[in-house]
Structure 1
Amino acid sequence: MYSSIYGGIIRHKFPLYKPNVNLEQLFGKHILFLFSFLTHENLNRAIRGGALESTRDVTIANREHLSDYLKVRDEYLYELDVHLDRFLSSASKAKISSPFSRSALRSILIQLTAASKCKKGTLRYWPSAGPGDFLLSSTGCPTSAFYAVVIDQELSQCKEGVKVITSSIPMKPPLFATAKNVNYLPNVLSVMEAEEKGASSSIWVDEEGYIAEGPNVNVAFITQDKELVMPPFDNILHGCTAKRLLELASKLVDQGLLKGVATKKLTVEEAKAAAEMMYVGSTLPLLPIIVWDDQPIGNGRVGELTMLLSDLLWDDMVAGPDTQRIPVPYAE
């Protein structure tokens, strides 16, 4: 993990996590909070995950922080630069100043991934107003903070379709929806509502009756006319993977398999009449949807074009251009 408060990349060797371990003695004078914990297969190696943060950080007290994540795939970081740009844009909206320049943040994330030795997984990172006085204002925080963690995780292509529902949980207003933050209570309740009804997740519809997004994911449709359509990003999160999919889909247009690619408003009725439907997000990166509110989408099976789009994303992760895949300098 990386902590700007604790002084950089942290790698400690100890066999297993024990609830009674003295973290203050182990890690120094800071009283630390164990945010999450993962170890490598060899338990004598460094901790792979675990964001250890000062308990006085407003991140824990007020959730006053942002979050972003991207894939580690076959010794490369996928879409690091576009995620980092969105990260800094979100920080600006939240009025959190980064403790480092963009180039320094980029270097930290690459070095952390190399130190973790993780070659397949996710890289997650957070800025915060920093250690302070537990109050709502950040004026009591002398310096902002930055945390990051690499999680060893095997991700595979999603080939089975899922069921979704229309969420009754209010969606976030545009100011919060367009910033990648950890105000996830609406997302959590939306997913729990879906699970209680035997579905996997949900779809948000805005106040005007147009399709918005899903919890932590964008949503896309293949119309009966074979056009790939996504809702406009004006009032929802501009997903990095969704943006990349729109670019890659032009290959299917050139092959005559798709008639076009567009972002435009869709009513619920129009969306449910689609031939195919899918979630799009960084850790998926594409998940077919076959049933919505107990109504089959198309023929109720995973669509051919959906899987072709999924293949494009997975191929891009494995063999895409240098602009998308940043090599990680692992030690020999």
Structure 2
Amino acid sequence: MENCNSPSDQKSDAVTGAEVERDTEFRVHVFSSSSELVEKLHEKWDSGKEKPYPAMYSSVFGGIILDPAMMVIPIDDHMVHRGHGVFDTSIILNGYLYELDAHLDRFLRSAAKAKISSPFPRSTLRSILVQLTAASRCTEGTLRFWLTSGPGNFLLSPSGCPTSAFYAVVIKDKIYQHREGVKVITSTIPMKSPLFATTKNVNYLPNVLSVMEAEEKGAFASIWVDEEGYIAEGPNVNVAFITHDKELILPFFDKILSGCTAKRLLELAPKLVEQGRLKDVRTANVTVEEAKGSAEMMYVGSTLPLLPIVMWDEKPIGDGLVGELTMALSDLLWDDMVAGPKTHRLLVTYA
């Protein structure tokens, strides 16, 4: 039996299609040289506007890149076509890197789970990130970094990749306290299994669809509920609740990502217990009924760092207003970011 998908048939079909569409077919430009391509890449960034990405590091290039047009990664990097990569993010505020070591430790734990070895020891990774931030001259924004199984081919296995790859980019952005509350919904998008949820990997399609679903319904983001009916997390943030008994509760981290900012909040919140404003601070399983019946609710994440939630599935949380204790916790985190101990804030020396 003749193969209807043979190369000769495919070529014939392509020629016929091209002939039929000759008058309307979009003509694809062929770049004749690398210099022409570079010129085209620069067109995007030469608009006179401030460049949002002042610096990037690439282990493929072996250095720091200051030209946004050159901030590219190989198409055959397995992070691109197989999603075999992990990442993390640290905040830059007032020239300090916040919680860099905590994020770097989680980054390497994620890499181990993803079976990706680093091309550099931890100390070198840290040094690269600090030097990159200094070279960027950015004093407010985010530092994002990735570890991938590397470029090499388009197969599933990374065994043919010569080495893993490390990338990082500094992104200029405004970091501020959120004082207005947002609406959320319960996501209908299936959440990740514990292995993938606890690994900060680049496979974020469920997260993307979850946010898009919320936006379509006029909400900011969503909440995942696990198969046992317990609250899990948001699409890229942890969630926290304050009960009517003034207990701060965060869901256990066994099936969700262990948020660096959430863990820092658990360390800082006992200050409010000492002041008599909170009764207790703990992690626990939280049912949907308990969560929706809480007095206050919030998202907790690196880039927020805390975002009040006032409505869930079109029903108010508590009295539907931003809670006093929510803002007290927000102040604790913000003060820690702005003027906290040196163990959590790394001063970057800019050249």
Partner of 1:178: 198
1:80-119 to 2 correspondences below 5 Å: 80-119=100-139
- Find the aligned partners of 1:66 and 1:76 in 2 and give their Cα distance: 24
1:301 and 2:321 are equivalent in the alignment: yes
Residue 2 (str. 1) matches residue 53 (str. 2): no
TM-score (norm 1): 0.88
Partner of 2:221: 201
Dislocated runs of 4+, deviation >3 Å? 48-51
How is 1:213-252 mapped onto 2 (pairs within 5 angstroms)?
A: 213-252=233-272
Amino acid at match of 1:136: L
Contact 2:134–2:349 (CA<8 Å) still a contact in 1? yes
The equivalent of 1:255 in structure 2 is 275
2: CA distance between counterparts of 1:223 and 1:113? 40
Aligned match of 1:314: 334
CA distance in 1, matches of 2:292, 2:203: 29
The amino acid across from 2:247 in the alignment is: E
Distance 2:305 2:101 in 1: 17
Q: C-alpha separation between the residues in 1 aligned to 2:205 and 2:74?
A: 23
State the TM-score, normalized to the length of structure 2. Answer: 0.83
Q: What do the CA deviations read for 1:102-132 (whole angstroms, capped 9, x no partner)?
A: 0000000000000000000000000011111
Q: Counterpart amino acid of 1:279?
A: Y
Cα 1:174–1:51, aligned 2, differ >3 Å: closer, same or farther?
Answer: farther
Larger relative helix fraction:
2
Deviation sequence 1:159-200 (CA, Å, 0-9, x none): 100000111110000000001111111111111111111111
Conserved? CA contact 1:229–1:264, under 8 Å: yes
1:28-67 correspondence runs (5 A): 51-67=71-87
Q: Distance in 2 between matches of 1:231 and 1:55?
A: 38
State, as a whole percentage, how many aligned pairs show the same letter. 71
Equivalent position SS for 2:342: coil
Q: Which residue of 1 aligns with 2:10?
A: none
2:79·2:202 contact (CA, 8 Å) conserved in 1? no
Where structure 2 has 5 or more consecutive residues not aligned to the other structure, the ranges are 1-55
AA matched with 1:11: L
**Matched letter for residue 344 of structure 2:** Q
Structure 1 unaligned segments of length 5 or more: list them.
Answer: 13-47
Report the number of matched residues. Answer: 296
How far off is 1:49 after superposition?
A: 9.3
1:8 positional shift: 1.1
Q: What secondary structure sits across from 2:240 in the alignment?
A: strand
What amino acid does structure 1 have at the position aligned with 2:313? D
Q: Is the 8 A contact 1:230 1:262 kept in 2?
A: yes
* 1:208-231 Cα shifts (integer Å, max 9, x gaps): 000000000000000000000000
Partner of 1:31: none
If you compute each CA radius of gyration, which structure gives the higher value, 1 or 2?
2
